[in-house]
Structure formats: C-alpha cells, structure tokens
A and B are shown apart, each in its own frame.
Chain A
C-alpha cells in the first residue's frame, strides 16, 4: 500500500509567519504534488515535483514555494502567511495508476 504522510493534521498560524508543511512518502515515487482545497473551488494545484530539486508551478503558485531535497520528502512553504491561505492542504504522489493523497493539513491563518 502506498503511504503518504503529512507533518500536521491541524495548524494555526498568525499573519506574516513563515509556515512549513511537509509531505513524506514511503515508496520511491518520483512525482509529488501539493494542492489546496476550498469549498466551491475544488482541488487546485499549487506546485509539483517530478524529481529531487525539480519543481513546476501549478495553477496557483503565488505566495508559495516548495523544496525537494530528498526523493521521499516534498515541502510546501508559505513565505508570509496571509488569511486567504486558510485552507485544506493536500499532498499527493503519483503511483502506478493514479495519484494517492496524504491525510491533509487544515491550516488556519489568523
């Protein structure tokens, strides 16, 4: 079974703070993805990575950056958190058939 873990299930941060969300996979999958999900807007792709140190912008990269120093770990960074980044953040990996999601991190920015 594919296993994807995320560092936190719930997170509360203040406006302006730097926020790190981490995603770890237990298999040797190359492609990893970060999404955010908001009511009525569905899943929106922020960034993805297809190899170590490689990254591609998704549909809504503004205000975010990513880091992939090791194959199993893909981090999403909010450089200066804002209230409009309050959301559910989902990490996914590309398995053999399709994408598999981690449990998600619900982030509240006050």
Chain B
C-alpha cells in the first residue's frame, strides 16, 4: 500500500524562527509532490509543489525534495502566528485516473 508519512506534531516554534516540516513516501515511482495548508475548520489550500530534486523557493516557503531518500520537506522562514495551521503533504502516484495520496498532516503552532 502506498503511504505518505508525517509527524502529527504539534510542532511549536517561536515567531521569527524557521519551521521545518517533513514527509516521507513509500512509492519510489512518485513524480510530483505537494504541500497544502489547512486552517482549523477550513479546507486545504495548495501552497507549494515540487517535481525535481533540490529546493524550490516561494517567498518565505521552501520545498525540498530528495527522491533517492523518498523525502520531502517544507521550510517556513520567519514564522508568523498566521502560519499556525495543519500542513498536509501529498504525493501523486503517477498513475492515470488515481487520486493524490495524502499524509495525515503536521500541526504547526507559532507563538508570538
């Protein structure tokens, strides 16, 4: 069974710190990887996607992918209280007609 694993947290960081969220996946053939943010009571929203090994930066967010280690991470620099949310890692199993595989999410709490 294809799986995506995340630490459930909560991960607590002070305002201004770097938050590091990690995700591992089991399907070595996976080609695309996504990070969603979900505020309490709301639906998930896409914040980053990455296809190639290495880093991808978008503002305060950096996604990192290491396909050899089957590992994806999300770094949030200068964390703000508004970043407090659950972060879901998702993997495309790269089979036509199938859904993304989601991790259960990591809860991040940023204290001011």
Contact = CB atoms under 8 A, between A and B. Distances in A.
A40 B100 CA distance: 19
Interface residues of B, number: 20
B45 A101 contact: yes
Main secondary structure of the interface of A (DSSP, over half): strand
A43 B44 CA distance: 10
Give the secondary structure class of B's interface: loop
Contacts of B44: 43, 90, 101
Contacts of A58: 99
Interface stretch (A11-19, A65-73, A78-86, A92-100): A92-100
B39 to A, nearest CB: 11
B46 A100 contact: yes
Contacts, number: 45
A90 B44 CA distance: 9
Residues of A in contact with B, size category: 20 to 34
A64 to B, nearest CB: 15
Interface of B: 8, 32, 34, 41-46, 49, 88, 90, 92, 97, 99-100, 102-105
Given A42-B102, A90-B43, 14 more contacts: A40-B8, A41-B104, A42-B103, A42-B105, A43-B88, A58-B99, A97-B32, A97-B49, A98-B49, A99-B46, A100-B46, A101-B44, A102-B43, A106-B41
